[in-house]
Structure 1
């Protein structure tokens, strides 16, 4: 093997993010006070529906006292305030740590006079022309121009730096409704694509044979569930162990477990490892009473701003993790739980911000784990068939 052939690191699918998170815009070209006020109003308008964040740089570090115990050598000072929590760090926050802190945000606004972001909103203010010209190289993905009261057209250096400037929307900085509508539209367009994942990789130890092969509805259950998900998802995959791959019908895409030995938790992580920018409608294969109405209701009430959308289980009185939509922002959360020794997806749902629904028909959530369960469900299905 030559040096060129050698690969030191595994090739992983990376989430599409910027400096802070998925959906970030640097606002630049105006005074910092104007940028702060604009961010304040946009966040105020959108925060009821979206998780919003703001990033800036202080101008007065030289006159600000180091807070709390940091002056005495602490590396971290945490205070649980009445209305918020405050963290103060002694050491510089590394780039990857910033992304961890902002991972749950749907919208991140950045003071672009101090820090860059993946996309930009540019204020055209005659008084800040020279300052903006110094930052023209930061204008890599301008999506909106805002004209201040003293400006009626874009600067010539902007038109030269951005050949397609005429295709970028322009509005008045004072028109807050239009600016807010711009961000709201962008967030709706950025809603993650929904894929489906049928969990069929269990060993079915209590049942004594593969539950995914049980024929409840004219075909093996794993294929029945995959077919049910297709109308609601872009792509549908059957999750299985590597040893099972040869058993799966080639008509159905397979996603092998790469986080092995972790059961459903590992299957969900494996799906995000394959595609970290998709949301995943995860469903266990042992739900013979599952119906389209239950799936349709789950998708209709999906809240992509939450970690997940799940049904409340009347049996356990907890969220049901194996008929749920897991959003991309749940991926780092799942990994953090794993790092702390937890591999229970239900525990993740219990301890995070989720959208919890009541199932239109709770019976649809019934799963089958043992031969006794199987016989009971046979009777229920027979009764339903007879009634129809």
Structure 2
């Protein structure tokens, strides 16, 4: 049988809905009621998730601007008036950073839906009946809001769905929060082993601090915390007894290793751990996992007296991947620069826990200090 020609490299894609990684369209009532509903839900969820609202303009006379206008305010607000053609691929980049995007379903279809029953909008619901293919729950605008006959005919089990009154803000927001939690990516581990170890004069991954090679020790720390763990290796580097991810971003060091992990699986969060930090222990990894904040692009460790976070003791969320690639497109390949200039959860620890070892003298000092700790 002749092998089918494949023009493009088949990559694993991030799991997206139509416009965003996680979206829900609200329809069945007036746009003003939908907008108010979204505002109430977003206010309830603001400390738990990063949300956005995707709506359509009702202004029939608006014209494309002569020039794109970006107005920034010191409060952190940015108003944009720009020529824009709606395109689902571009919107997925725009919304990649959000945990949930609410969509005005009167204008755009969403992969999941919330149906608000409004007796005055029967014709509107009938018009969009085929869009209601993944209704999450029902909201009644009024106590006498009806399930339209055509709804029941099309979806016979619709009355079995959870139903709320529109004033049940706490219960509805909790339901939506559960939908957000379901989409939080599981964490996998990646241990960095592709460095050149030039200052040490020998491969740092084979150094013995804890009765076995440092790479074995580092992998075991992550696996003991129930993380499926891979070892990042340089191009053409081979390692036995470990699941490996080969660096596809050549000559970019740890930055390339992180991007290669995301290329391997963009639907996982990656706990990145270097092999030259022998004082990192099980307690520190548990602390990092405990304080993980999926709202941010990453959760990172920082020494209390250090100015910047440690990019190689950190959990990178799937939303970090497009940010990393955008920095690469600008000519930057420093993961610390990305974290410094992004929204990151920071966990402060004693400096000694995260000191990295790069030279033979530092190695011997670390051995002596570890022996002292074990004798305490």
4+ residue runs over 6 A deviation: none
Q: Does the 8 Å CA contact 2:306/2:351 hold for their aligned counterparts?
A: no
What runs of 5+ residues in structure 1 fail to find an aligned partner? none
- In structure 1, C-alpha distance between the alignment counterparts of 2:81 and 2:161, rounded to whole Å: 39
SS at match of 1:242: coil
| Residues 322-361 of structure 1, C-alpha deviations (whole Å, 9 max, x = no match) | 00011111000000000000000000010000011101x4
Given candidates 98, 105, 112, the residue that maps to 1:105 is 98
1:22 shift after superposition: 1.6
Equivalenced residues, count: 375
Q: Does the 8 Å CA contact 1:123/1:146 hold for their aligned counterparts?
A: yes
1:38 shift after superposition: 0.2
Per the normalisation by structure 1, the TM-score is 0.92
Given candidates 346, 353, 377, the residue that maps to 2:366 is 377
Residue number in structure 1 paired with 2:246: 256
1:126–1:150 CA distance, 2 compared to 1 (3 A): farther
- In structure 1, C-alpha distance between the alignment counterparts of 2:264 and 2:162, rounded to whole Å: 35
Residue number in structure 1 paired with 2:150: 157
What does residue range 47-62 of structure 1 map to in structure 2 within 5 Å?
47-62=46-61
- In structure 1, C-alpha distance between the alignment counterparts of 2:155 and 2:191, rounded to whole Å: 46
1:163 shift after superposition: 4.5
1:147 shift after superposition: 1.5
1:55 shift after superposition: 0.6
1:20 shift after superposition: 2.4
- For the aligned residues, what is the CA RMSD? 1.8
Given candidates 255, 261, 265, the residue that maps to 1:265 is 255
| Residues 264-287 of structure 1, C-alpha deviations (whole Å, 9 max, x = no match) | 101110111111111111100111
- In structure 2, C-alpha distance between the alignment counterparts of 1:324 and 1:338, rounded to whole Å: 19
SS at match of 1:335: helix
Residue number in structure 2 paired with 1:132: 125
1:38–1:91 CA distance, 2 compared to 1 (3 A): closer
| Residues 99-158 of structure 1, C-alpha deviations (whole Å, 9 max, x = no match) | 222111112111000011111001111111111011111112110111121645422322
Residue number in structure 2 paired with 1:237: 230
SS at match of 1:116: coil
What runs of 5+ residues in structure 2 fail to find an aligned partner? none
SS at match of 1:244: coil
- In structure 2, C-alpha distance between the alignment counterparts of 1:171 and 1:95, rounded to whole Å: 31
SS at match of 2:236: helix
1:49 shift after superposition: 2.7
Residue number in structure 2 paired with 1:205: 198
Residue number in structure 2 paired with 1:94: 87
Given candidates 259, 265, 268, the residue that maps to 1:275 is 265
SS at match of 1:363: helix
Range with greater deviation from structure 2 (229-238 or 294-303): 229-238
Residue number in structure 2 paired with 1:122: 115
What does residue range 206-221 of structure 1 map to in structure 2 within 5 Å?
206-221=199-214
- In structure 2, C-alpha distance between the alignment counterparts of 1:231 and 1:168, rounded to whole Å: 40
| Residues 182-237 of structure 1, C-alpha deviations (whole Å, 9 max, x = no match) | 11122222221011111111121111111111122122111111110123344111
